[in-house]
């Protein structure tokens, strides 16, 4: 079996780009989201991208194929909102296990196809674990600063259900990503450790936070160093940043992270910053140049793209990444 811990020593690993950006191109209608299975479901389902793993599995497999074709080593499962907390928006909490299991299975089948074609370049699947739409550290009500919309325990239970399904579906690594509230991430990490212990297994974990503005802090107010300290109690495959910023804006924070950690580092920035219409205009060539600066500075072990990135972006990133050696980790994971 190919081992991601071995591969990360050999080269810079390339992560895929945005799933949402790709799915928008299909212009799926409400009927497409529902499929036959949810034809009479009582709530509107358009926009529930995770559901497409059940109703449009060929499209999800096709997106994974396009990213592997572009040179990605790792694709993420279509499960960014795959918790009962996020699925409550669509009254689909009872589908969480199935959604995650099927998403992992689709990605794993495609990864195995590509590994079989080229065993020298094994492909991996990262189980995408998003932040949920609730925050454990901040109040959503400005008049009640002490109020919390979710508890640590509720998050732990929800994440545990997602993690079990992703592992059952065959993922190679778990990716706790787009962390804007580190307390949410700690609940996810706690749940992962619980599952590992119960099943007596070891599965690599990637953690990726998000710096929300030019102050260089997460939404819940942590600096790069504080974020790193908060998650470093668990042996991680990698720690890094994604989303919110483009590659150019992310570099100084990545440098601080790289200087301070003995874990491998990852980044999957947006294709620049959004324009007035919320669209991302940065071309693959522009993004490639900014990413090359990371590589020259020896900041990175895993590199990919977030909002607005496509297979063209990933192809350009993979091309430049292949010319550089991975960042040296002083103490192995």
3-state secondary structure of 43: coil
CA–CA separation, 69 vs 78, rounded Å?
A: 18
Predicted local distance difference test score (pLDDT) of residue 137:
85
DSSP 138-154: S-S-TT-TT--SS-HHH
- Asked if 70 contacts 22 with a C-beta cutoff of 8 angstroms, the reply is no
The sheet carrying 173-179 orders its strands as 13-14, 302-303, 264-270, 238-246, 205-209, 173-179, 124-129, 74-76
CA–CA separation, 294 vs 287, rounded Å?
A: 11
If we measure between CA atoms, which residue out of 243, 272, 268, 267 comes closest to residue 256?
267
Predicted local distance difference test score (pLDDT) of residue 331:
57
Pairing of strands 264-270, 302-303: parallel
Q: From first to last of its 333 residues, what are the pLDDT tens digits of the chain?
A: 669 999 999 999 999 999 999 999 999 999 999 999 999 999 999 999 999 999 999 999 999 999 999 999 999 999 999 999 999 999 999 999 999 999 999 999 999 999 999 999 999 999 999 999 898 888 888 888 888 889 999 999 999 999 999 999 999 999 999 999 999 999 999 999 999 999 999 999 999 999 988 889 999 889 999 999 999 999 999 999 999 899 999 999 999 999 999 999 999 999 999 998 889 999 999 999 999 999 999 999 999 999 999 999 999 999 999 999 999 986 544
Could you tell me the CA-to-CA distances from 292 to 114, 257, 267 in Å, in that order? 26, 17, 13
If we measure between CA atoms, which residue out of 111, 107, 124 comes closest to residue 169?
107
Other C-beta atoms lying within 10 Å of the C-beta of residue 208 = 26
């Amino acid at each position: 079996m190919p081992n991601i811990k071995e591969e990360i020593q050999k080269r810079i690993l390339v992560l895929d780009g945005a799933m949402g950006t790709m799915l928008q191109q299909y212009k799926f209608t409400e009927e497409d989201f529902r499929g036959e299975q949810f034809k009479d479901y009582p709530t509107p389902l358009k926009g529930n991208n995770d559901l497409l793993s059940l109703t449009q599995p060929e499209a999800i497999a096709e997106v994974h194929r396009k990213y592997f074709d572009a040179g990605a080593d790792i694709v993420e499962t279509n499960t960014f909102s795959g918790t009962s907390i996020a699925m409550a928006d669509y009254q689909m909490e009872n589908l969480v296990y199935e959604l995650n299991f099927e998403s992992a299975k689709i990605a794993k089948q495609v990864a195995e196809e590509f590994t079989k074609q080229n065993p020298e370049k094994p492909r991996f699947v990262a189980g995408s674990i998003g932040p949920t739409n609730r925050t454990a550290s901040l109040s959503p009500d400005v008049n009640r600063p002490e109020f919390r919309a979710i508890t640590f325990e509720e998050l732990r239970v929800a994440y545990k259900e997602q993690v079990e399904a992703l592992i059952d579906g065959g993922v190679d690594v778990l990716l706790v990503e787009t962390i804007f509230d580190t307390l949410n991430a700690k609940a996810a990490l706690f749940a992962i450790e619980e599952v590992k212990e119960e099943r007596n297994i070891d599965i690599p974990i990637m953690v990726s936070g998000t710096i929300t503005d030019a102050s260089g802090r997460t939404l819940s107010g942590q600096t790069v160093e504080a974020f790193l300290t908060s998650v470093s109690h668990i042996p991680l495959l990698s720690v890094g940043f994604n989303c919110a910023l483009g590659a150019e804006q992310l570099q100084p924070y990545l440098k601080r992270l790289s200087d301070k950690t003995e874990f491998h580092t990852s980044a999957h920035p947006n294709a620049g910053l959004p324009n007035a219409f919320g669209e991302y205009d940065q071309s693959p060539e522009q993004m490639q140049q900014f990413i090359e600066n990371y590589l020259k500075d020896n900041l990175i072990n895993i590199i990919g793209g977030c909002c607005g990135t496509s297979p063209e972006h990933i192809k350009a990133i993979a091309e430049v990444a292949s010319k550089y050696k991975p960042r040296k980790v002083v103490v192995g994971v």
